[in-house]
Chains A and B, each alone.
Chain A
Amino acid sequence: MEHDQRLAVFWAVHLALLGLFGLELLFFLSVWLKARVPGLPADASRWRKLGATLKFALGIVVSQRLWPLLRALIVDGMVHRRLYRTDRRRWAVHIAVFGSWLALGILSTVTGVVVEILPLLGMSPEAAAAIPLFGHLFHADTWWVALLNDLLGLVVIAGMLLIIYRRYIQKDPQLRTLPADNLVIGLLTLIALSGFFAESFRLLADYTTAAGVFAPDPAMISPERLPPVLHNAWGPQWGFAGYLLAWLLGALRPSPGVWQAIYNVVFWLHFFTVTVLLFYLPFSRFFHAIVSPVIVAYNTLRLGQAEGRKP
C-alpha cells in the first residue's frame, strides 16, 4: 500500500479507536458513579456524584495542594518511589517497561502531530521540518530520533523478556498468572517486537536500490517525506540495532518490492495489536497503567494529610 494511503487508513482507524477508547472510559466512569461519593447520600444521582467529584478535583487543582499532587503524581505515580524502596530490581524492570512505553507513546504522538497535523493546518513539510528540535521528528531517520526510538524499543523488548522470564520460567512465587494476563503480556510483546521489526523493514523498503542493494542515502526519500532541511540531521545508522538488522537482512537481496510488502504486513500487524490492546485495555489488568498514577497521587496526598494531623 502506498505511504499516503497507509497513513490515511492508519489515522482514520486510529482516531476512531481513540474515540471508542474514550467511550469505554466514560462507560466505566458511569458505572463507577454507582458507588458512594463521600459527603453525598448513597442514592444521589450519578450526575450529582460526578458534579461533586469534579468540584472536589477542581478544588485541588486551584489550591496549594496542586503542587504536592503533581509531585506525588511524578514521584509516586510514575517513578514508583515505594517500589524502589521495596525492591530495586523489580523497580528497574517496571520503570524500564512503563517509562519506555510512555516515552515511545509521547514520541509517537508528537511525531504524529508534526508529520500529519501540521501539514493539515497548511504548513508545508519544509516548514514543519524546520521547527527547532520538533522538526526533526518529521522523519524517523534523523539521528537522535532514530537513536531514541531504537533505545526505547530495545529497553521495552528487554523489559518484556524479563517479565516473561520472571513469570513463566523463574515462576516467582509472588506472582499469580490468570489467562487474561497471558493475553496482555502476549499483546505487549508482540507490539514491542513488531514495532522493532517494522522499523528495520521500513529501512529496507526505503533504502534498497533497484538492484536490490541496501544502500541508505537521503536522496532516496522524496522531499515531501524527508525535506532537504533535514538532510544534515539524517542518520538512520544511529538506530543501531534496527539498522544492523536491516543491513544483515539486506544481504538476502530478494526480488524488488519484497521489503515493501513485508514492511506493510509488519506495520499493519503492529498497528492491529496496538488497536486490540487499546480496545481491550479498560477490561484488562493493564488498565492500572491509566488508573494507578491517579490513585497513587491522590492517596499520597490524602494519606500525607492524614499523617500530618496525627500527633
Chain B
Amino acid sequence: MSDRARKVNLANFTLRQMMELEACTRCGECIAACPTFAEAQDEEIHPLQKIARTKSFWKADHLGLLARLFGIRKATEQDLVAFSQGVYQCTLCARCHEVCPVQIDTRPLWISMREQLVEWGLYPEFFDTLRERVTSQHNISGDANDNRLVWTQNMERVPEGLDRKKGAETVYFMGCVGAMYPRVYGVPQSFVQIMERAGQDLTTMGGDEWCCGFPLQIAGMGQHAHALARHNVEAVRALGARRLVTTCPSCYHTWAHEMPGILGETLGFEVLHATELLADLIDEGKIELHGFPQAVTYHDPCDLGRTRGIYDAPRRIIHAIPGIQFTEMADNREMSLCCGGGGDAEMADPGLTAAVGKRRIEQAQQTGAQVVISACQQCDRTLAEAARKNRLRIRALDIVQVVWQAMQG
C-alpha cells in the first residue's frame, strides 16, 4: 500500500475512542504499569506512545492546514512500522486501564489500532497464517477440526455423551488451546470428569466447535469473526443446551461479551466460565473436595479478571479445598501482572512474552508456592514454559486440574 493510501480510517475507531485519545493526560501512570515495556524498554510499546502516535496520525490526515500550522506532520513509513511493532507487542493485558486516571478503556483501543494496521497491511506476517487456519480449519492449530476430542483418547474412562449429545443441559466449549495442545489436555480431561462426578449433564460440540474468533478479533481481523460466531451459536442452539461453559477466559469473554454484539442478538442460553460453575457446585455440595496439601498461589488471567471482572470465583474454589495453603502474589486481582501469553503477542515477539512470563513466574515463586494456579489454558502453558526455561521449582496447574486432584483425595 502506498504512503498516500495509508490514511487513518476513523471508522476503525468509535466516537468514544476518539475522545479518549484526547483525554489522555500523558501522565505516564501507564508506563510504570506496562509489563511489556518493563521488559523491552522500547518506547513504541507503552500506552502513552501508542496514543500519541495515533493522535498525531489522524490529525495529520484529517485536520489539513490546521495540523500543519501546529507542527503535526504526516507519518513516515518508518513511523508506521515502528507503531505497528509496538501495537502488536502489547499483550492486551489492560493493566494500563487500571491505573489510568481518566479511565481510558485501553484494551478495545489497542484492538482498534490493530484494525487500522490490518487495513494498512502493517501487521506480523504470521497473522495471515492464523487467519487462514481459523477461517479454513476453524481452529488456531491448523489440525483437522474433527480432532477436537483427541484429548479423550488417553483417558481411562470417557464420560458418556461428550460428542454432540442433543438435549444436554450444558455445552462445554473446549477452546482451541484446550482441545488441540497436548500440554494442556489435562484441563478438558479434568473438567469433564468433575462434571460427571458432580452429576452434570454435559456435552461438547465435538467437531462442530469452531474457534470462537477471539484470536482474529484481537489481531484486528474481527471482520472474520461473524461467520465463526454464527456457526457456533447455531451449533449450540441445535443441541438445545441451557448453558455454555468454557475453561478458557478468552472464549468466555468472546461468548459472553462479543458474540451478542457481533450477531446483533441475544444468545438464548447462559454463558459461564468454569470457575463460576465450579464455585456454585462446590457451594451446593455437589463437588466433594478431599484435599490438596500444597502451597499455592493464584494467577489472575487478564481476560478473566480485568476484562470480565471475575476475581472471587476462583478464590472461593481455592479456599474451599481442604489442606491447601494459599498466598496471594504481590500483584494480584486488578493489578495482576500478565503472564505474557495474551494479545497474540507471542506470535509477534516470543522472546518478549517469555521475559514477561519470567517476571510473573518469579513473583509466584516468591510466595513460596509449589503450584501456581490459573484459570486459563494459555496462562497455564505460558507459566509452565517460563518455569521450565528458568529452571524454577514451581508447577503451573489450571484450577480445574487442582479441583479434580482435590476430588481424588
Contacts and interface: CB of A to CB of B under 8 A. Distances in A.
A295 B28 contact: no
A65 to B, nearest CB: 16
A181 B52 CA distance: 12
Interface in B53-112: 59, 62-63, 66-67, 70-72, 99-105
Contacts of A141: none
Given A292-B102, A295-B23, A174 B10 contact: no
A32 B25 contact: no
Contact of A31 (B10, B14, B102): B10
A294 B276 CA distance: 35
A166 to B, nearest CB: 11
Contact of B11 (A36, A90, A288, A306): A36
B325 to A, nearest CB: 27
B14 A296 contact: no
B19 A294 contact: yes
B102 A172 contact: no
A2 interface: no
B70 A283 contact: yes
B14 A38 contact: yes
A174 B310 contact: no
Interface string A253-285: 000000000000000000000000000100111
Nearest to A306: B309
- Residue in B19, B52, B309 whose Cβ sees the most chain A Cβ within 10 Å: B19
A129 B292 CA distance: 79
Interface string A5-45: 00000000000000000000001000111111110001100
A300 interface: yes
B309 A32 contact: no
A280 B102 contact: no
Contacts of A80: 101
B400 interface: no
Contacts of A190: none
A309 B271 CA distance: 13
Nearest to B102: A292
A25 to B, nearest CB: 11
B19 A295 contact: yes
A4 interface: no
A280 B27 CA distance: 20
B62 A180 contact: no
A199 to B, nearest CB: 29
B154 to A, nearest CB: 34
Contacts of B48: 176
A42 B9 CA distance: 11
A300 B19 CA distance: 15
B14 A295 contact: no
- Residue in B23, B24, B70, B99 whose Cβ sees the most chain A Cβ within 10 Å: B23
B350 to A, nearest CB: 28
A66 to B, nearest CB: 19
Contacts of B393: none
Given A37-B14, A38-B14, A176-B26, A86 B19 contact: no
A217 B352 CA distance: 72
Contact of B103 (A33, A176, A295): A295
Contact of B313 (A31, A42, A311): A311
Interface string B26-55: 111101100000000001000011001000
Nearest to B18: A32
B22 interface: yes
Contacts of A296: 23, 101-103
A210 interface: no
Interface in B7-23: 10-20, 22-23
Contact of B22 (A27, A53, A287, A303): A287
B19 A291 contact: yes
Nearest to A174: B28
Contacts, number: 121
Contact of B23 (A32, A280, A292, A311): A292
B308 interface: yes
A288 B104 contact: no
A299 B24 CA distance: 13
Contacts of B22: 287-288, 291-292
A311 B272 CA distance: 10
Given A174-B31, A296-B23, A311-B313, A83 B11 contact: no
A202 B323 CA distance: 77
B11 A35 contact: yes
B87 to A, nearest CB: 17
B23 A288 contact: yes
A53 B18 CA distance: 14
A310 B16 CA distance: 22
Contact of B14 (A35, A181, A287): A35
Contact of A307 (B63, B72, B309): B309
Nearest to B261: A38
Nearest to B276: A311
A80 B20 CA distance: 16
A294 B13 CA distance: 18
B16 A298 contact: yes
Nearest to A310: B309
Contacts of B49: 176
Contacts of A295: 16, 19-20, 23, 102-104
B16 A178 contact: no
Contact of B101 (A32, A86, A176, A179): A86
Nearest to A36: B14
Given A175-B28, A176-B52, A295-B19, 6 more contacts: A86-B29, A176-B48, A180-B70, A292-B22, A294-B19, A299-B104
Closest 10 CB pairs of A and B: A174-B28, A34-B10, A292-B23, A310-B309, A295-B23, A83-B101, A299-B103, A32-B18, A283-B70, A42-B11
19 contacts: A31-B10, A31-B62, A34-B11, A36-B11, A43-B11, A76-B103, A86-B99, A86-B101, A174-B31, A175-B28, A176-B43, A176-B49, A178-B52, A285-B25, A287-B22, A288-B25, A295-B16, A299-B20, A310-B309
Interface of B: 10-20, 22-29, 31-32, 43, 48-49, 52, 59, 62-63, 66-67, 70-72, 99-105, 276, 308-310, 313
